[in-house]
Amino acid sequence: MKESVGNPLHLKSLNHISLVCRSVEESMNFYQNVLGFVPIRRPGSFDFNGAWLFGHGIGIHLLQSENPENMPKKKEINPKDNHISFQCESMGAVEKKLKEMEIEHVRAMVEEGGIYVEQMFFHDPDGFMIEICNCDNLPVIPLAGDMVRSCSRVNLQVLQRQQIQQVIQQ
């Protein structure tokens, strides 16, 4: 596979993820009341049921399943399954709130070079996995080039500028 350098598609950020739901209303309730997303306007030309939400710098587009009864049921919480991850300010506060809301979750811990990252995994109403973590503790270390301090947006922008400079200098 040819090695790619820089940003060949000139990407700026993650815009949204789309999730097919058994019930758009139930999923809207979850994403608003558990994760703090807010509903936003979606194009009126769409001729199918759905909702758009925005929060934490990304959008979530909920799409009503055409066959909700045929959607797979929730599975065991498996941290190695597909998921979207959010950084948080306090893992203790997250766990307390999940317990108050009676949301089943699984805790995990990652250690790398003496740095520990806490993780909590749980499902949305349709079984899509959500991770909450304090991943900002873990440095982002490119396989080539200089280390970036953490997963924060500012530090990732520094990495992108460094990659652009490397391409320009070649």
Task: Single out the residue of 55, 53, 76 nearest to residue 122, CA to CA.
Answer: 76
Angle (CA) 54 25 35, round 5°: 40
Instruction: Dump pLDDT digits (tens) for 48-65.
Output: 999 999 999 999 999 999
32 has a pLDDT exceeding 70: yes
User: Helix, strand, or coil here: 59?
Assistant: strand
Q: What is the DSSP letter of 126?
A: T
SS3 state of residue 110: strand
Model confidence, pTM: 0.80
Residue indicated by tokens 């309730």: 29
pLDDT in tens, 83-117: 999 999 999 999 999 999 999 999 999 998 899 99
Distance CA 111, CA 151 (A): 16
Q: Which two tokens stand for residue 22?
A: 């058994």
Residues annotated as catalytic are 131
Please name which of 129, 128, 131 lies closest in space to residue 151, comparing C-alpha atoms: 131
